[in-house]
């Protein structure tokens, strides 16, 4: 039994930020390989506007092709990211059993990322949640929620922590079972995590919160450890540290799954995930993409 839940976001959050268009077959192979490592959640793709994110325009093909993996591994969740009801309908038509929605805690990033205000995005979320229930897409246990830019917005500066708490609560009220808090710019430090999460956890249960840390400033693992100390048990990460967010300048570098698993296991926290298999996959996908492996632990173990 794992002590923590790791949400692998590489196939979506990772590949959405690769400038080249990755072949659909490579995406499918990546998900198949990841499913063999016992990761409990693998975010497979997104159903957003292909004009905004052309890298994931093949979401339908990816989702259709992994149906057999989803059936053979019923314990693994394969959420897909949707920004609105249009995306939800497409996800449903192509076999999604779980969806993830996302809103920003800040106006500037909300406008840039999904072309609407925070308030409008929360209305969209409620529409998605309601429609998901009608479609029989289970909400509880399958949805991941993101609050982007929890510490700083690239367009507006420092994020108001009250706004993070309010948006998180609004997502839970809309029916989300879990809200993943994303430090999209990767600027947060353990001191920021302590301040924000301590405030948030006064009113929101730790079991409903996940940490999504980026490594832009090399703070992601330290932030995980701090969040773990504060009671958080769900963490997002990306194989080989792929990705970031295309609408957050300089925000390359999701926390790598290999580094996350290495650190947690060394702390005596069981992840339930096979690190050696992860390392092979991180090496493989980096070679496929022709980019350096963004995982420190992965690169070191692979070089042994
Ligand atoms: P918009 O242009 O304002 O949309 O985009 P619209 O409602 O005016 O519609 C324009 C056209 O898009 C219409 O088609 C719609 O049908 C179509 P047309 O009539 O012109 O032919 N459309 C869609 N097509 C496919 N799928 C859809 C969809 N919706 C509308 N779902 C919209 C608004 C939200 C669609 C757009 O801004 C968008 O897709 N944004 C997504 C951006 C994105 O994916 N960002 C990355 C994910 S967030 C992230 O990475 C951060 C996170 O990982 C956390 C972290 O790392 O910290 C979560
Ligand atoms: Mg991310």
How far is residue 127's CA from residue 167's CA, in Å, rounded to a whole number? 16
Give the mutation target among 49, 54, 111, 179 for probing the ligand 1 site: most ligand atoms within 8 A of CB: 49
Give the mutation target among 9, 43, 48 for probing the ligand 1 site: most ligand atoms within 8 A of CB: 48
The tens digit of pLDDT for each residue in 25-47 reads: 999 999 999 999 999 999 999 99
From ligand 1's centre to the CA of 269, what distance in Å?
A: 37
Contacts of 240 (CB under 8 A, 6+ apart): 10, 14, 256, 257, 258, 281, 282, 283, 285, 286, 293, 294, 295, 298
Tell me, letter by letter, the H, E, C secondary structure of 125-180.
HHHHHHHHHHHCCCCCCCCCEEEECCCEECCCEECCHHHHHHHHHHHHHCCCCCEE
Contacts of 19 (CB under 8 A, 6+ apart): none
| Max Cα–Cα distance, the chain, nearest Å | 52
Contacts of 255 (CB under 8 A, 6+ apart): 213, 214, 215, 220, 221, 224, 235, 236, 237, 238, 241
The enclosing H or E element of 80 equals: strand 80-81
Which ligand number lies closest to the CA of residue 144?
A: 1
pLDDT value of position 143: 33
The enclosing H or E element of 51 equals: none
- Single out the catalytic residue among 116, 149, 176, 245: 245
pLDDT value of position 145: 36
pLDDT value of position 146: 46
How far is residue 183's CA from residue 228's CA, in Å, rounded to a whole number? 16
- Please tell me the pTM assigned to this model: 0.94
Residue nearest to atom 33 of ligand 1 (CA): 114
How far is residue 205's CA from residue 215's CA, in Å, rounded to a whole number? 26
Residue nearest to atom 30 of ligand 1 (CA): 49
pLDDT value of position 218: 92
From ligand 2's centre to the CA of 14, what distance in Å?
A: 8
Please list every protein residue whose CB sits less than 6 Å from any atom of ligand 1.
Answer: 13, 16, 46-49, 52-53, 83-84, 86-87, 90, 102, 113-115, 146, 148, 182, 184, 212, 245, 247
Output the tens digit of pLDDT for each of the chain's 304 residues. Answer: 899 999 999 999 999 988 888 999 999 999 999 999 999 999 999 999 999 999 999 999 999 999 999 999 999 999 999 999 999 999 999 999 999 999 988 888 888 889 999 999 999 999 999 999 999 885 432 233 345 566 666 666 677 888 889 999 999 999 988 999 998 888 889 999 999 999 999 999 999 999 999 998 899 999 999 999 999 999 999 999 998 655 556 556 899 999 999 999 999 999 999 999 999 999 999 999 999 999 999 999 999 9
How far is residue 82's CA from residue 142's CA, in Å, rounded to a whole number? 13
Contacts of 108 (CB under 8 A, 6+ apart): 153, 154, 155, 156
| ipTM score for this prediction | 0.98
Strands, DSSP E only, in 185-278? 209-213, 234-237
pLDDT value of position 144: 34
From ligand 2's centre to the CA of 9, what distance in Å?
A: 7
How far is residue 36's CA from residue 29's CA, in Å, rounded to a whole number? 11
CA-closest candidate to residue 27, choices 78, 77, 73, 75: 78
pLDDT value of position 194: 95
245 is annotated as an active-site residue: yes
From ligand 2's centre to the CA of 3, what distance in Å?
A: 22
End-to-end CA distance of the chain: 29
């Amino acid at each position: 039994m794992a002590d923590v839940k790791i949400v692998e976001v590489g196939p979506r959050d990772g590949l959405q930020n690769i400038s080249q268009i990755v072949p659909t077959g490579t995406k499918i192979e990546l998900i198949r390989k990841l499913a063999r490592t016992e990761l409990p959640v693998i975010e497979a793709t997104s159903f957003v506007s292909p004009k905004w994110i052309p890298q994931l325009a093949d979401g339908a093909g990816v989702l259709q092709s992994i149906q057999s993996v989803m059936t053979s591994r019923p314990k693994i969740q394969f959420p897909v990211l949707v920004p609105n009801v249009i995306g939800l309908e497409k996800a449903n038509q192509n076999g999604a059993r779980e969806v993830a929605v996302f809103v920003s805690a800040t106006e500037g990033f909300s406008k840039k990322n999904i072309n609407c205000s925070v308030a409008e995005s929360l209305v969209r979320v409620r529409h998605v949640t309601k429609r998901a229930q009608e479609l029989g897409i289970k909400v509880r246990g399958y949805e991941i929620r993101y609050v982007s830019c929890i510490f700083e917005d690239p367009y507006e500066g420092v994020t108001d922590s009250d706004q993070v708490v309010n948006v998180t609560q609004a997502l839970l009220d809309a029916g989300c079972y879990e809200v993943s808090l994303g430090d999209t710019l990767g600027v947060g430090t353990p001191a920021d995590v302590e301040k924000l999460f301590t405030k948030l956890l006064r009113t929101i249960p730790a079991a409903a919160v996940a940490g999504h840390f980026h490594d832009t400033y090399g703070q992601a693992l330290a932030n995980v450890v701090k969040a773990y100390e504060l009671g958080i048990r769900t963490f997002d990460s990306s194989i080989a540290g792929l990705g970031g967010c295309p609408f957050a300048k300089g925000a390359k570098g999701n926390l790598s799954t290999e580094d996350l698993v290495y650190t947690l296991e060394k702390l005596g926290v069981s992840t339930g995930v096979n690190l050696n298999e992860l390392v092979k996959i991180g090496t493989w996908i980096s070679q496929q993409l022709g980019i350096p492996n963004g995982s420190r632990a992965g690169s070191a173990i692979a070089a042994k």
